[in-house]
Amino acid sequence: MLTVIGEGLVDVVQRASGIEAHVGGSPLNVAVGLARLDHPVQFIGRYGRDAYGDSVAAHLRASSVMLPVGPDNLPTSVATALIDDDGAATYTFDLAWELPGIADRLAFMLQGTTLLHTGSIATMLAPGATEVLAAVEYAHPRATISFDPNCRPSIISDVAYARRHAEKFVSLSDVVKASDEDLAWLYPDMDVLDAARRWLELGGHEGPAMVVVTRGAEGPWGVCRAGEAKVPAPKVEVADTVGAGDSFMAALLSGLVDRGLDGAQNRKDLRELPAEGLGELLAHAARAAAVTVSKPGANPPTRAELNGHLEE
């Protein structure tokens, strides 16, 4: 069982051609991406008893994502995405993030979990961020931990605060993915790749096995204990970039699971992954992101779609 914990919301996408609503949220997108790649996955997050909440639950269930936490009485969170002429998205948010009572249910909900992923707003915004950290600390002795900061300066504007929270999660993680924009914002006086190399050292021997940086059209780059790797971004016609990083994250984790590297018992093998293996994982994840950007909205590929893209 794979577990994703974090925010789910509705993306209200504004384009010159009109307005559309899509279910989104970075962790939710990763959960859907993993399920579409044929992994059993559960999503621990919140959504309201309203029309948007019904859409969130229906979207997850349509991809066979399990929902151990039901709706609550707060409004479902909304992100408004403004798409420019180049397909890039900028966001504003109306959020409620908390998971009351989750501490008492962690042992039940996380039994059998071999990989726990989290990130984004869920790891920064109080009061829920404290509950997410507790879940990661609980799961760490048993499961692979992955983290994507997916920084939202319009929500968490205090860089020092965001950096502290990000580093807490990085030090507990085995797999970390960040965009070049994330790292440039968190470490404005440091080269992006040097910041990623520094993250690899957080937590010492118990810290990350790999840190991966997505760089848009430049293609992804990563560093692991054995060295560094980079691959080109596949060339596709871009509809928009919504959810591209989340599809990349899901496919990166899927590649690890396919290699049998999930679970704390495989932590040593994950840390010994050669640079060539890292490059193969980057290429696999980049193909998934390419499929996503070729379609509107956060719409990660199925395994069949990804295999078809590879054959092309």
pLDDT tens readout for residues 162-198: 999 999 999 999 999 999 999 999 999 999 999 999 9
Lowest average pLDDT, out of 54-58, 90-94, 268-272, goes to 90-94
Question: pLDDT class for 205, splitting at 50, 70, 90?
Answer: confident
For residue 297 the two structure tokens come to: 């909205």
Q: Which helix (H) or strand (E) holds 116?
A: strand 115-119
How big is the CA angle at 277 (ends 273 and 282), to the nearest 5 degrees? 120
- Radius of gyration of the chain measured on its C-alpha atoms: 18
- Percent share of the chain, pLDDT over 70: 98
Q: Which helix (H) or strand (E) holds 23?
A: strand 18-24
Residues 251, 255, 258, 261, Cα dihedral to 10°: -120
Question: pLDDT class for 297, splitting at 50, 70, 90?
Answer: low
Answer yes or no: pTM beyond 0.75.
yes
| pLDDT at 295 (0 to 100) | 79
Among 16-20, 94-98, 103-107, 138-142, name the most confident range.
Answer: 138-142
Q: How many CB atoms lie within 10 A of CB 127?
A: 10
Question: pLDDT class for 53, splitting at 50, 70, 90?
Answer: very high
CATH code of the domain occupying 2-95+112-300? 3.40.1190.20
| pLDDT at 101 (0 to 100) | 83
pLDDT of 122 higher than 70: yes
Q: What is the mean pLDDT of the chain?
A: 92
In three-state secondary structure terms, 112 is coil
Question: pLDDT class for 203, splitting at 50, 70, 90?
Answer: confident
Q: Domain residue spans in the chain?
A: 2-95+112-300
- Average pLDDT estimate for 82-94: 80
Q: What is the pLDDT of residues 127-138, one digit of tens each?
A: 999 999 999 999
Distance CA 104, CA 50 (A): 26
- Average pLDDT estimate for 243-250: 93
| pLDDT at 310 (0 to 100) | 52
Is residue 32 packed enough to be buried (19+ CB in 10 Å), middle (13-18) or exposed (0-12)?
Answer: buried
Q: Which helix (H) or strand (E) holds 61?
A: helix 51-62
pLDDT of 85 higher than 80: no
Distance CA 171, CA 208 (A): 7
Of 185, 298, 188, nearest to 249 by C-alpha is: 298
CB 208 within 8 A of CB 199: yes
In three-state secondary structure terms, 222 is strand
